[in-house]
Structures are given as structure tokens and as C-alpha cells.
Amino acid sequence: MSQQWVAGFRSGVISPYETHRLFESRGFADQTVRQPLPLAGGGERIRVRLTNRFGRNPLRIGAARVALQAKTDAIVPETDRELRFDGAAEITVPPGGEVVSDEVPLAVAAGNLLSLSLYLPDETERATYSHMPMERSYAAPGNQTAAVELDAPETFEIRAYVSGVDVLAPEGTPVAVALGDSWFEGTGTTVSANHRSVDALNDRLDRGWVVNLGIAGNRLLTDEHGEHALSRLERDVLTVPGATHVLVHLGINDLGLPGMYGQPMPTAEELIAGYTELAVRIHAAGLRALLATIGPFAGAIYEGGTSPEAQEVRAAVNEWIRTSDVFDAVFDSARAVEDPDAPGYIRPDLDSGDGIHLNDEGARLLAGTVDLADLW
């Protein structure tokens, strides 16, 4: 059977130097960093993508290994493999750069946690990172990349220096890319439980899978958190190997963050123009595009995080989304999780506690709004 390289895992990364930071990045020095990567799909071989995209200094990686995770910081010993880069065990990633490892013979399956261990011998700056991956990772002193269990590990909950894993899968395997915000990245769901909305959507699929490029705080039109979607579309989404579809969940932060950060609120017309440009560019790349309605956030507990103006724009944009044919399909996540007795608010049993993020059950219901017939 013919095979092809496709994305099996993706992580949306941001700069540690943003003006506003929800969760701080961190650096490392003479430490092994072991991070579990939840694979959306599998294959017979893998290759790993490491990133220093927003770094200001070279990043030296003294050793790198992968294995299937057993539990917490432990690996399955017989699956342990060394990563090399053009045959070398060590590599320096330049500022702004990304590297792809040589392929490794390791059979992986959808739902596996791939444990990535990086030895960082030098003191690093704050890492290029995913700031709310809802996954617990580990750092331990010295080079412990080959250790089955780490000695004296500390935990942290960002994801550092990794942007993806590719898998060698049967030719024609469909892959969707989830481009969005915290409702995709998983904010509000249980840490290290893999209960994000994208995980729940993958549980529904008999073939193919969805890789998660959600960034908490991401916006359609404005940078921070992360590059805005129109800016990152080309690099983050359209270059994903094997991509056939793009699921878009954006808009809450375009309306909620301006009041928190003292910025102007976009109009409904500006958001609609942004969505339209996104669809045009996705279609020009030969991919299908699905768009979510903007979810309820009137109950946001953060100062300035909601306003009557924001709710009016949300209502106007959602009306356009539900009636427009600019995208190939719409999934109405807003209607699925909105409180019928309090329009604009998340149902209390689906609220993670801050009025703007979904809990595990809310994430599952969001995933259920995607009609699988609109995928493949």
C-alpha cells in the first residue's frame, strides 16, 4: 500500500515576548524536558518538528529521544528511539528557525501519547511555546533523555519548543486542521485527560483525524495571543502535510480582549470580511473550510471581558455565519452550549467556572456539532 507523510500532531506556538501573557513561558538549563504529545493519528514511522520560531538566540539541543508514554514521566522502554537530524545526535536551531528530525521507525496509533525528551545543555531564554495545552510536562536535571523514569522531575504546564509530529500513513488519509482559540486548545478542560473538543471530535471519526492548532486567546484580526489567524494561516495551516479540511473557531477573543486590553472593538463588518478572506484563501489552497459560530461569553468574569457592544456584534456575526455560504459548512457550537434561559451565557453545567471556557462536557458537546458528513 502506498504511504504518505501527514500531520499526526500539531501545536500552535506563540512568542514569550508578547505584551500581554496569560501564562508565562520559561527557560531551561542543563535539563531534560520530557513532554507528552497526544497523537491525533498514527503510522508506521514518525518525524518530529522542533521550533525556535520566536527565539532571539540559537537553541542547542544536546540529545533528543521519543517513546510511548507509560504514565506521568515514565516511558515504555521497548519503544524508546533516538532522534537524529541529518544523521547528527545534536543540533542547534537558529533564531526564528524550525527543524525536522530524520524519520524514526516507531509504530504509533491515534490516541497514543508520544513522549518527547529533549536535553537542553545550555541556559535558554524563555521558550517559544504553547501556553495552555492542558498537558503536564516534566523537567529534570542533566541528560536523562534515555531514562525510563526521570530522577527528581519538576512539573510544568506549557509546551516548549515543539510544533508537530508527522506520521507515515496510508496514502489518502484525510486530515483536518483545527484553527482556533481556547475552545480548541482546551482551556477549562481537565489537565492531562485529553478531553479537549478536538479530542472528542477525533473520538467520533472512523478514519482520518483532526490536528489541533488552537491557541488560547487567538484572534481572527489582531495579534496576541499568538499571531492573528489571517497572519498564521499560511505557515501554520496551509503547509500542514496531508491537510484536506480546516475547521475554524475564532471570534470570542476579537470581541472579549479589546475591553480587557484597552483596544478598539472590531465591527461585525470587519469580522465578516476577515472570515471571508480566510475562506477564500483556504479554498484557493484546495481545502474545504468549516466555520463555527461565536460562542457565548456574556458571563466572563474577567474585567472588561464582555460588554453590550460585544454581544451585539456577536449576534450580528452569528446571524451571518448561520445564513452565509462563504464556508463549505457551519457547526453551531454557540447554540449547543448556550443557556436557553440566559442568552449569551454558557449553560451552567457546561461552564468551566469563568463564564467563557467550556468544561469537559461542554467540549464534548462542541465536538458533536460538527456533522461528520461535512468532513469525509
Looking up residue 339, the CATH number of its domain turns out to be 3.40.50.1110
- Identify the helix (H) or strand (E) that includes residue 273: helix 268-284
d(CA 87, CA 157): 31
C-alpha cell at 215: 491557541
In a shared domain, residues 132 and 188: no
* Residue 7 DSSP class: E
Residue matched to cell numbers 528530525: 101
In a shared domain, residues 128 and 181: no
C-alpha cell at 183: 475552545
In a shared domain, residues 145 and 192: no
In a shared domain, residues 50 and 92: yes
Tell me how crowded residue 56 is: count the other CB atoms within 10 A of its CB.
12
Number of domains in the chain: 2
Which three-class secondary structure state does DSSP give residue 225? coil
pLDDT of residue 5: 99
Domain boundary pick from 133, 165, 197 = 165
In a shared domain, residues 246 and 121: no
In a shared domain, residues 23 and 45: yes
Domain boundary pick from 144, 165, 186 = 165
Which three-class secondary structure state does DSSP give residue 92? strand
Domain that holds residue 80: 3-165
In a shared domain, residues 158 and 194: no
- Identify the helix (H) or strand (E) that includes residue 254: helix 252-261
In a shared domain, residues 31 and 151: yes
Domain boundary pick from 130, 165, 200 = 165
In the chain, which stretches have pLDDT less than 50? none
- Smallest CA-to-CA distance from 129 within 36, 219, 217, 215 is with 215
Tell me how crowded residue 97 is: count the other CB atoms within 10 A of its CB.
14
pLDDT of residue 1: 82
In a shared domain, residues 182 and 149: no
Sign of CA dihedral 111, 153, 103, 131: positive
In a shared domain, residues 200 and 341: yes
* Residue 128 DSSP class: P
In a shared domain, residues 155 and 186: no
> Are 135 and 193 spatial neighbours (Cβ–Cβ below 8 Å)?
no
Residue matched to cell numbers 501545536: 11
pTM (two decimals): 0.98
Residue matched to cell numbers 434561559: 341
- Identify the helix (H) or strand (E) that includes residue 289: strand 288-292
In a shared domain, residues 158 and 187: no
